[in-house]
């Protein structure tokens, strides 16, 4: 199962001069996506950064050596490229010097951090992100009613591909994913020695998902400085584990301007960090689970549809709050996310008073499917 919109977008860019970079956490289907794109092409060379000899070839490489390696192949796919030292420089060399070759690279987690690809390929790349299965993908594979009925399961176990294909083994799969994504990638690539403190930080973020977070308070909980907490949260965001949502403000005196919320890209990862897999229907944090799910799924949809818009939450000093806000082409759309549609939305009146031209909606179990499939 792959996101068809993303596949179509890569197909459209396949013969452009720029490199194509597909980013995403481990085991979200990057290789499967590219196999679908290049299934009928014969002039494709697949290389893997996991193989030691491939990593060696790219050490101090020249364009002449690369031409010999590529042969007559037009499309060069480098999987797990983040494992190759200074891969950004090598990709720039190919893009600039070998005009008849198209580079496609995949990277998980610390790809940008370890390779410097952002700086090396500035203006020379199309970059796309791949996530755990999205609501839209799952609906496309089965009838809408089935996926709606599976909502309580998604809230607890998430939508990682391995989870979706191993019913009954979700807990084991998620624990292995945490070990691979967090500790193998982040600790290895960034040389982080305080693994116990990183673990405490992740658990603290999981408990506070959907709430405003203070880096200073998190540091006190985990025994880290505020600066270190900021660094770790930045790493977790670039590793596609967490989402940072900033606060919306037009400089009204009572708006909180520097607050931020943390969400997880996958509910299953969040619950695995807390070792809490109780059924959704009996959980006290059902509102948090639903809000995290809606925010992450909405952002997946916007990314796959290549929709450009601002994304925030809103809160005042009087604790009036709107869960999620988008601004596109000057139009502000505000959303209150409630597990139960009957639950009050206390921030609605205050927000409409401050921004009378905005639109505001309540997203609940009754209408969430529309929100996750329409732009």
Burial 138-163 (b: 16+ CB within 10 A, else e): bbbeeeeeebeeebbbbbbbbbbbbb
Quote the CA–CA distance of 249 and 261 in Å, as a whole number: 15
User: What is the enclosing helix (H) or strand (E) of 45?
Assistant: strand 44-48
Look at residues 330, 324, 320 and name the one whose alpha carbon lies nearest to residue 354: 320
335 vs 231, residue with greater confidence: 335
Q: Assign 3-class secondary structure to 311-365.
A: EEEEEECCCCEEEEEEEECCEEEEEEECCCCCCCCCCHHHHHHHCCCCEEEEECC
Give domain limits for the chain: 4-129, 135-371
Q: Are 346 and 354 in contact (CB under 8 A)?
A: no
pLDDT-derived band at 286, boundaries 50, 70, 90: very high
Roughly how many angstroms between the first and final C-alpha of the chain, as a whole number? Answer: 21
pLDDT per residue over 172-190, tens digit each?
999 888 877 666 666 665 6
Domain 4-129: give its CATH code: 3.40.50.300
> Regarding beta strands 310-315 and 242-247, do their DSSP bridges make them parallel or antiparallel, or are they unpaired?
parallel
Q: Are 75 and 15 in contact (CB under 8 A)?
A: no
Examine domains 4-129 and 135-371 and report if their fold is the same. Answer: no
Please tell me the predicted confidence (pLDDT) of residue 239: 81
pLDDT per residue over 229-239, tens digit each?
998 898 888 88
User: Order of strands across the sheet with 331-337?
Assistant: 260-264, 242-247, 310-315, 321-328, 331-337, 359-363
pLDDT score of 113 more than 50: no
User: Order of strands across the sheet with 44-48?
Assistant: 44-48, 75-79, 102-107, 19-23, 125-129
Does the domain at 135-371 match CATH 1.10.10.10? Answer given as yes
pLDDT-derived band at 24, boundaries 50, 70, 90: confident
Mean of the pLDDT values across residues 291-311?
93
Quote the CA–CA distance of 49 and 46 in Å, as a whole number: 10
């Amino acid at each position: 199962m792959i996101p068809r919109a993303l596949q179509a977008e890569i197909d459209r860019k396949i013969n452009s001069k720029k490199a194509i970079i597909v980013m995403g956490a481990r085991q979200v289907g990057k290789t499967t996506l590219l196999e679908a794109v290049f299934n009928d092409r014969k002039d494709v060379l697949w290389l893997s950064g996991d193989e030691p000899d491939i990593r060696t070839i790219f050490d101090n490489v020249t364009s002449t050596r690369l031409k010999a390696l590529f042969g007559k192949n037009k499309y060069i796919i480098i999987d797990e490229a983040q494992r190759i030292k200074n891969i950004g420089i090598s990709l720039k060399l190919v893009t600039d010097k070998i005009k008849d070759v198209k580079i496609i690279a995949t990277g998980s987690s610390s790809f940008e951090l370890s390779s410097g690809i952002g700086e090396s390929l500035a203006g020379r790349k199309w970059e796309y992100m791949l996530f755990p299965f999205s609501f839209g993908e799952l609906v496309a594979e089965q009838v809408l009613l089935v996926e709606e009925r599976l909502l309580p399961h998604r809230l607890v176990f998430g939508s990682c591909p391995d989870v979706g294909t191993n019913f009954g083994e979700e807990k084991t799969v998620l624990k292995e994913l945490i070990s691979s994504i967090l500790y193998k990638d982040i600790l290895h690539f960034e040389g982080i020695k305080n693994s116990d403190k990183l673990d405490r930080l992740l658990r603290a973020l999981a408990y506070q998902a959907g709430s405003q977070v203070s880096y200073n308070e998190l540091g006190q909980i985990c025994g880290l400085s505020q600066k270190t907490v900021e660094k770790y949260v930045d790493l977790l965001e670039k590793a596609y584990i967490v989402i940072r949502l900033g606060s919306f403000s037009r400089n009204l005196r009572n708006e909180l301007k520097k607050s931020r919320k943390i969400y997880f890209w996958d509910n299953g990862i969040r619950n695995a960090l807390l070792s809490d897999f109780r059924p959704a229907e009996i959980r006290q944090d059902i509102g948090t689970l639903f809000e995290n799910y809606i925010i992450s799924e909405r952002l997946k949809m916007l990314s796959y549809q290549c929709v450009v818009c601002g994304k925030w939450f809103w809160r005042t000093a009087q604790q009036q709050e709107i869960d999620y806000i988008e601004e596109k082409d000057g139009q502000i759309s505000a959303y209150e996310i409630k597990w139960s549609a009957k639950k009050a939305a206390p921030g609605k009146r205050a927000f409409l008073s401050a921004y009378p031209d905005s639109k505001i909606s309540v997203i609940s179990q009754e209408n969430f499917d529309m929100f996750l499939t329409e732009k």
